[in-house]
Chain A
Amino acid sequence: MDTYVLLQHYWWFLISLLGGLLVFLLFVQGGQGMLYTVGKSGMERDMIVNALGRKWETTFTTLVTFGGAFFASFPLFYSTSFGGAFYVWMLILLVFVIQAVAYEFRRKADNFLGEKTYEWFLMINGVLGALLLGVAVGTLFTGANFTVNRLNLANVGGDTTISQWTTPWRGLDALADYRNWALGLAVLFLSRVLGAQYFLNTIDDKSIRTRSRRQLWFNGVPFVLCFLLFLVSILLSDGWAVDPATGTISVEPYKYWHNLLAMPLLFAALTAGVLAVLTGIVRDLRKESSTQGIWWSGSGTVVTVVCLFLLAGYNDTAYYPSLSDMQSSLTIYNSSSSEFTLTAMSIVSVLIPFVVAYIWYAWRAMNRRKITREEIASADEHLY
């Protein structure tokens, strides 16, 4: 494999990893969505908000970095998808803007909109944030309606835009494909499963634990169903294959299934990932005292999502199929940054383990003590 191709694979892996971490960290969104189902009193909701409030910025930052890294390593995807699926991305942004202020403003005196409004912000973000991100990622398999022509830049006085959307729906067209819904709902239910597991792990309170455990059932089952529906339908679908020598793209029936067979390690990892997610759920459901399921389900989530991304982009697959013009489809070869830029950024990426290490260290230092009613009631703590 030549260096450039290797770098393209390396960066697609990093994007996948960021995507995997992001979906795991969506436990914050999942938890927010259950603010009123798990938290029945004001005190309980305060405990929930404060438990999530210590993590929301990490999720948010991961989303921002995911976007930044995608821009840096596959700029053509950034300019094609964001500029094309305008409504979907704008909607996603909107629900994340209202989240960012909600924690800090919710209980502050004179907050203008009132506590309830900020709680609504958290719940809207919790549901729509996870669902829409899932739908958007679904299009990496199901495709979108766009054309790409770089030399449009030569059309002086005419249509200079390189990437164009071919329908007026601007990304809302993704909602017309049931497979995108299946993935969106799977991500939504998974985020709620992880949210419930996070509550079990972090909040030391009997009633919250009981309700969280019940939510594991209510969300675990639909998650499994939606996820299986998505996975099976994708494995049975056509995929767009690229010939790396010529860059020509063609339809290949059962492309994703073929990818699994061609990459047995990936097949094994995907299976292990899914099993780990299930193990975490089952552990937390079976034993009253279990609070550690999130580590199983969380790491399982990361592995599963990484595998899905790799399934979409590796093995000469177009990771953003164009439904309007097949040859416009994006592959990791035709949409990446230059070899120089990928190399420069790869050097910087050496810092990633260090970043993960200090996040881990700081989290542990902060989570040593569980959240209790006493802490929330105490006066000398900064609280949300």
Chain B
Amino acid sequence: MMLSAADWMSVVDWSRAQFAMTAIYHWLFVPLTLGLGFIVAIMETIYYRTGDEFWKRTTKFWMRLFGVNFAIGVATGIILEFEFGTNWSNYSHFVGDIFGAPLAIEGIMAFFLESTFIAVMFFGWNKVSKGFHLTATWLTAVGASLSALWILVANAWMQYPVGMTFNVETARNEMTSFWDVLFSPVAMNKFFHTVTSSYMLAAVFVVGISAWFLLRGRERQMARRSMAVASVFGLVFALVAAATGDGSGVQIARTQPMKLAAMEALYHGQKGAPLTVISVLKPEAERAAEEKAGWLNIEIPRMLSLMSYRDVDAYVAGINDLVNGNPERGMISTQEKIERGRVAIGELARYRQAKQAGDREAMREVLAKFDPQTPEGKAFHKEYFRYFGYGYLSSPDEVVPNVPLVYYSFRVMVGAGVFFILSFLFTLWLLKKGRIESRRWWLWVLLWSIPLAYVASQAGWIVAELGRQPWTIQDLLPTVAAVSRIDSTSVMVTFFLFVALFTTLLVAEVMIMRRQILNGPEDLSPEAGTATSSAGDKTNANE
């Protein structure tokens, strides 16, 4: 099927848009599921140990919100899995040997755990023993986080491909070490950072909703106690998220220097680079040309060097260095990388020719170059193959991601994270002093922290994923060579179809959640449901 060059680019863009849109919607639901699962498990454990009906009622209330949220998370997740194939068919082939394994293990180990025990958790209250039920609740939570582990291992591999060799015959990367893939430092760090920040989001959610109950003077005991459980939970994991976030900085500096430069809008590399707390970015041309990329810079001297290399004097590469090269620092230009990448791809073409001609000698030569076990293969890998993906780029500036988006997203994520740590501490202090209900302004702050947590969580993914553009696999496969050969109209149609569907379902989800919260921890069986919802309406009318 023939596509014009313009249409081809538009397929890439629409496919990116479609994947990004699905991922954004998916991530609206996943973090809450991850964290709330553990929070209800903790609450149910208290019920199990004390036998206090209050805790059962409290557990059930939060569990109901978990259920509403879980369903739509599942709905958006299945699309992501299949979109690897539908929209990124070359990508699926190129990495399937590595990427598929974690995905399959995720299905076998985690999804079934989650989906089996979630049914016990919701429907088993009067069917199974208290101990079995509690176990089911914990297993559901563990299953959810295990799912996250495997998919994040796969994602980390895309950011930092390890444990594989390129097979010329099959034209794909093949796994040579499962442990290298699973325990890659990037994978471990990414997993802990992502799940702990999700636990934090769920804690912000529980604290915020509890604050709302206190503002209304309803369910005060439930609200105070939920707030206490969630604040401790949130504080612990917010601190872990901060530590792992710091760890990511170190890894990005080594594995994705362009992402780091974009996060900091650092155009000119320097020794002892300062960390910009915040600034207003200048227009692109000025950013790249002038010494400072922003106006009104608030900086911490040498901090960026310290954070990324653990050394106050370390050199941090800038965008210009990475694009134009910096011979003093031994950095080659992107143009050079493009040419080397083409040499590597050229060897593939040579192999094809040799194969067609039946030239076994030439075939052997190419195979030797791609074999990392031989000295020749090692050299070829170091000089050429590591730039393989660059060969598909047509101009050097394609390696620069959208700087303002990455730059500001990063600041939103970090700023919100710091704020949440302080907020959990302050809330705990107020709870301890018994003053939480008299600080109404703070309760409002807590309530309005909920959307902030979602924005921060999305911002984190924007940094991670937009920051690595144009790579689907870092340095090995850019989006332009990864996409399926579909006409852009088809992708556009499905894009809008899913936008409409997801938006409708999101509206439904938010409305249901709101109603469940307004109703409070009352029983909601069908008949009782109508009764309480009219009761809820009455409460509203009174307010």
Main secondary structure of the interface of A (DSSP, over half): helix
**Contact at B348–A151, with CB atoms within 8 Å?**
yes
**CB 8 Å contact bits of A47-76 with B (1 = contact, 0 = none):** 000000011011011011101110111011
335-365 of chain A: CB within 8 A of chain B:
337-338, 340-341, 344-345, 348-349, 351-352, 355, 358-359, 362-363, 365
**CB 8 Å contact bits of B84-117 with A (1 = contact, 0 = none):** 1111111111101111110111111101111111
- Interchain CA distance A60-B75 in the complex, whole Å: 9
B23 an interface residue at 8 Å Cβ cutoff?
no
Given the contacts A338-B175, A362-B120, A366-B123, A68 and B89 also touching, CB distance less than 8 Å: no
B345 an interface residue at 8 Å Cβ cutoff?
yes
**Contact at A151–B104, with CB atoms within 8 Å?**
no
**Contact at B125–A163, with CB atoms within 8 Å?**
no
**Contact at A83–B171, with CB atoms within 8 Å?**
no
Residues of B within 8 A of A58 (CB): 112, 115-116
The answer, among B75, B92, B170, for a CB contact under 8 Å with A79, is: B92
The answer, among A69, A104, A352, for a CB contact under 8 Å with B67, is: A104
**Contact at A337–B92, with CB atoms within 8 Å?**
no
**Contact at A46–B526, with CB atoms within 8 Å?**
yes
Residues of A within 8 A of B109 (CB): 348, 351, 355
Give chain B nearest CB distance to A355 CB in angstroms.
Answer: 5
- Interchain CA distance A361-B290 in the complex, whole Å: 67
**Contact at B501–A83, with CB atoms within 8 Å?**
no
A157 an interface residue at 8 Å Cβ cutoff?
yes
The answer, among A57, A79, A159, A349, for a CB contact under 8 Å with B119, is: A57
- Interchain CA distance A168-B533 in the complex, whole Å: 51
A380 an interface residue at 8 Å Cβ cutoff?
yes
333-381 of chain B: CB within 8 A of chain A:
342, 345-346, 348-349, 351-352, 355
B27 an interface residue at 8 Å Cβ cutoff?
no
**Contact at A338–B171, with CB atoms within 8 Å?**
no
**Contact at B89–A163, with CB atoms within 8 Å?**
yes
Given the contacts A79-B93, A365-B127, A380-B525, A71 and B119 also touching, CB distance less than 8 Å: no
Residues of B within 8 A of A65 (CB): 104, 107-108, 111-112
57-99 of chain B: CB within 8 A of chain A:
60, 63-64, 67-68, 70-72, 74-79, 81-82, 84-94, 96-99
A6 an interface residue at 8 Å Cβ cutoff?
no
The answer, among A82, A110, A150, A379, for a CB contact under 8 Å with B82, is: A82
A143 an interface residue at 8 Å Cβ cutoff?
no
Give chain B nearest CB distance to A114 CB in angstroms.
Answer: 10
**Contact at B525–A337, with CB atoms within 8 Å?**
no
Q: Which residue of B lies closest to A343 (CB)?
A: B178
**Contact at A101–B485, with CB atoms within 8 Å?**
no
What is the size category of the interface that chain A forms with chain B?
35 or more
**Contact at A107–B529, with CB atoms within 8 Å?**
yes
A214 an interface residue at 8 Å Cβ cutoff?
no
The answer, among A72, A80, A153, A366, for a CB contact under 8 Å with B128, is: A366
Q: Which residue of B lies closest to A349 (CB)?
A: B108
Give chain A nearest CB distance to B467 CB in angstroms.
Answer: 24
**Contact at B348–A154, with CB atoms within 8 Å?**
yes
- Interchain CA distance A304-B245 in the complex, whole Å: 51
Residues of A within 8 A of B77 (CB): 64
**Contact at A162–B108, with CB atoms within 8 Å?**
no
B391 an interface residue at 8 Å Cβ cutoff?
yes
- Interchain CA distance A76-B108 in the complex, whole Å: 21
Given the contacts A154-B348, A341-B174, A349-B108, A100 and B78 also touching, CB distance less than 8 Å: yes
**Contact at B486–A86, with CB atoms within 8 Å?**
yes
Residues of A within 8 A of B136 (CB): 362
151-188 of chain A: CB within 8 A of chain B:
151, 153-157, 159-166, 168, 170
Residues of B within 8 A of A382 (CB): 60, 63-64, 67, 122-123, 125
The answer, among B90, B125, B483, B498, for a CB contact under 8 Å with A380, is: B125
Give chain A nearest CB distance to B470 CB in angstroms.
Answer: 14
A78 an interface residue at 8 Å Cβ cutoff?
yes
Q: Of the 9-residue stretches B186-194, B215-223, B310-318, B503-511, which lies at the interface with chain A?
A: B503-511
Give chain A nearest CB distance to B168 CB in angstroms.
Answer: 9
Residues of B within 8 A of A163 (CB): 89-90, 93
**Contact at B175–A344, with CB atoms within 8 Å?**
yes
B305 an interface residue at 8 Å Cβ cutoff?
no
The answer, among A83, A162, A341, A349, for a CB contact under 8 Å with B85, is: A83
B542 an interface residue at 8 Å Cβ cutoff?
no
B297 an interface residue at 8 Å Cβ cutoff?
no
B448 an interface residue at 8 Å Cβ cutoff?
no
Q: Of the 9-residue stretches B39-47, B397-405, B409-417, B512-520, which lies at the interface with chain A?
A: B512-520
Given the contacts A68-B81, A159-B485, A380-B126, A101 and B118 also touching, CB distance less than 8 Å: no
Residues of A within 8 A of B111 (CB): 61, 64-65
Q: Which residue of A lies closest to B106 (CB)?
A: A68
Q: Which residue of A lies closest to B71 (CB)?
A: A104
Give chain A nearest CB distance to B204 CB in angstroms.
Answer: 23
Residues of A within 8 A of B172 (CB): 75, 150
Residues of A within 8 A of B104 (CB): 65, 68-69, 71-73, 345, 348
Which A residues form the contact surface with B (CB < 8 A)? 46, 54-55, 57-58, 60-61, 63-65, 67-69, 71-73, 75-76, 78-84, 86-87, 89-90, 93-94, 96-101, 103-105, 107-113, 150-151, 153-157, 159-166, 168, 170, 337-338, 340-341, 344-345, 348-349, 351-352, 355, 358-359, 362-363, 365-366, 368-369, 376-383
Listed A/B pairs (23) with beta-carbon separation below 8 Å: A60-B74, A64-B77, A65-B108, A72-B96, A79-B85, A79-B91, A82-B85, A83-B87, A89-B82, A105-B68, A153-B348, A160-B392, A168-B1, A338-B97, A341-B174, A351-B108, A362-B119, A363-B116, A366-B119, A366-B128, A368-B127, A377-B527, A381-B126
Other than the known A57-B119, A108-B512, what 12 A-B pairs have Cβ atoms closer than 8 Å? A54-B123, A61-B114, A63-B78, A65-B107, A67-B81, A71-B100, A97-B75, A99-B75, A108-B516, A111-B511, A160-B481, A366-B128
